[in-house]
Chain A
Amino acid sequence: MIDPLVASASVIAASIAVGLGSVGPGLGQGTAASRAVEGIARQPEAEGKIRGTLLLSLAFMEALTIYGLVVALVLLFANPFA
């Protein structure tokens, strides 16, 4: 079966990966959203374009968090050391 040291190390590593991985993109997405809202407030006619650009940028930042999630999933479900 799985070595208990490997198991506990994997669990801790998975949680750190997801936790730390969501800090940066969270800050980034908040900044992007705030600037987008500012832009809409300055020029309400551009709302369509601003919203489109905002969603696109949010998805890029989301991807960085997802990379951390993928590492966590690999460690939990497809662990190469177990």
Chain B
Amino acid sequence: MIDLVTFDYKTSFAALEVGKHFYWQFGDFVVHGQVLIVSWVVMGAVLVAALIGSSTAKSDQRVPAGFQNFMEYALEYVQGIAKDQIGEKHYREWVPFVGSLFLFIFASNWLGVLVPWKLIELPEGELAAPTGDVNTTIALALLVSLAYFYAGLSKRGLEFFTRYVQASPFLLPLWVLEDFTKPLSLSFRLFGNILADELVVGVMVLLVPLFVPLPLMILGLFTSAIQSLIFSTLAASYIGEAMEGHGDEAHEH
């Protein structure tokens, strides 16, 4: 029986903790289990959506309908991102990469907010958006780094390394630094935005559990969607810039 006089309402409805993780051990590697669990759920959700969207396609059907139409809209959106940044000629082979980034980050941000993860209790730590863990965002940013190096090297060969003495040899330290700040800023922008939104909502719920946190949660949905767009747009922009050289500096940084 719960004794209503001494039942502590505050700590049972709302609690805020940062830094506690559900550690899994794989031999020598220790990973954050809660991040992996939610990542798998996100991946599963995106895959299921893609499969359902394409399963109803019939070869004699010209006009898509319903869910397939929605998935085609998503595909066209992602193709638009890649085409704007990389250019007409080479964007098609990068659509899967840029699209996966966009969809994974978008789905993980929104599922992290919309799904009631708190109902599942873990022995240590709590389930939240995987992009709220700096390891995930750093991994994604390093993937982008790898991608634009691969893009530049495969398209321009060793001439790619002339980018370090681009406008003037004195700018060499600047370009070298840019190779480090690109993944750093990508990862911290995404991580900071998502974690900040989670913390703000958490603190608001701690203070006023009903209705008042709602505008902040909706703002969080909006900004996290924008962040997924930013990440994928920047990834595509770095790839396009690596493939064609610094000629288009006026575009975006």
Please give the residue numbers on chain A whose beta carbons come within 8 Å of chain B beta carbons, in ascending order. 55-56, 59-60, 62-63, 66-67, 69-70, 73, 77-78
Contact of A63 among B185, B195, B229 (CB under 8 A): B185
Q: How many A-B residue pairs have CB under 8 A?
A: 40
Interface 0/1 of B228-253, CB less than 8 Å to A: 01100100000000000000000011
Partner of B196, one of A55, A60, A69: A69
B interface residues, tally (CB under 8 Å): 19
The chain B residues found within 8 Å of chain A, CB to CB, are 18-19, 185, 188-189, 191-193, 195-196, 199, 223, 226-227, 229-230, 233, 252-253
Is A56 a contact partner of B233 (Cβ separation < 8 A)? yes
Which applies to chain B's interface (DSSP): helix, strand, loop or mixed? helix
Q: Can you pick out 14 interface pairs between chain A and chain B where the beta carbons lie within 8 Å of each other?
A: A56-B226, A56-B233, A56-B252, A59-B226, A60-B230, A60-B253, A63-B185, A63-B189, A66-B192, A69-B192, A70-B191, A70-B192, A70-B195, A78-B19
A78 to B211: give the CA distance in the assembly, Å.
Answer: 31
Sample of 6 more A-B contacts, CB < 8 Å, known A55-B226, A56-B233: A56-B229, A59-B189, A62-B223, A70-B191, A70-B192, A78-B18
Question: Could you say which residues of chain A place their CB within 8 Å of the CB of B19?
Answer: 77-78
